[in-house]
Amino acid sequence: MAAKIFPSILSADFARLAEEVALISDDADWVHVDVMDNHFVPNLTLGLPVVESLVKHSALPLDCHLMIEDPDRWAPAYAEVGAGSVTIHAEAAKAPIRTLRAIRAAGARAGLGINPATPLEPYEELLGEIDMLLLMTVEPGFGGQKFLDLVLPKVRRARQLIKSRDLAVWLQVDGGVSAETIERCAEAGADVFVAGNAVYGADDPAEAVRLLRAKAEAAGA
Ligand SMILES: O=C(CO)[C@@H](O)[C@H](O)COP(=O)(O)O
Ligand SMILES: [Fe+2]
């Protein structure tokens, strides 16, 4: 298991996205793109046309986190325009198995996202349908929120399940991940770390990525 650091451009300058991505391209693994529709979450960010453009300007693959009301309708299109990974939310998807299969069929990794108050158990049988499980460590919608430690037992359970079933599913944490909290996430079993504020709020985003990776790996990721 090697730690993977996914800076979130939610905390970057939206008018300079390609340059902001280039800042971290030598050090990060993927770029996390938060798609919000102002319905599933009370915030509005960007959508398909921006992702389609950014794919062409990014040296790293894009991890699209869809915080939208109708992922069944939209998710495959993100894969079709070149996203490397597309995550839908369990709380929003009406036909998650069909949608996850459609994402994979369009050539992307398929992710399932779960909010802090949503239990893992109803979705355990979907683990065989996904390439990544996203456990939100804040309520989705905004960057810069405080990390919710109450999610850590769920991270531990998810890691045990993935291990006991011998699955190659990546376990992602997203929200409030920083130099102060990343070790707890890694100890609990996460191996993919999204960080917005901790990277783009830093004076040197590339150095912030290196620090996060060092801390995660020292804690066992
Ligand atoms: O999906 C989300 C927020 O809903 C995240 O990806 C945030 O962008 C993480 O930002 P920080 O909490 O790391 O600042
Ligand atoms: Fe996100």
pLDDT tens digit sequence for 17-58:
999 999 999 999 999 999 999 999 999 999 999 999 999 999
Residue of 5, 6, 8, 134 best suited for mutating to test ligand 1, as the one with most atoms within 8 Å of CB? 8
Find the ligand nearest to 64 CA: 2
Please name the helix (run of DSSP H) or strand (run of DSSP E) that holds residue 107, with its range, or none.
none
Which pLDDT value is given to residue 1? 65
CATH class of the domain defined by 4-218: alpha beta
pLDDT tens profile 64-94:
999 999 999 999 999 999 999 999 999 999 9
Contact yes or no for 210/7 (Cβ under 8 A): no
Give this complex's ipTM: 0.99
Distance 98 CA to ligand 2 centre (A): 22
Residue 174 bears catalytic tag: yes
Task: Measure 193 CA to ligand 1 centroid, in angstroms.
Answer: 11
String of DSSP letters for 188-217: HT--EEEESHHHHTSSSHHHHHHHHHHHHH
Task: Examine the residue annotation and report whether 34 is marked as an active-site residue of this protein.
Answer: yes
- What was the pLDDT predicted at 96? 98
Instruction: Dump pLDDT digits (tens) for 150-179.
Output: 999 999 999 999 999 999 999 999 999 999
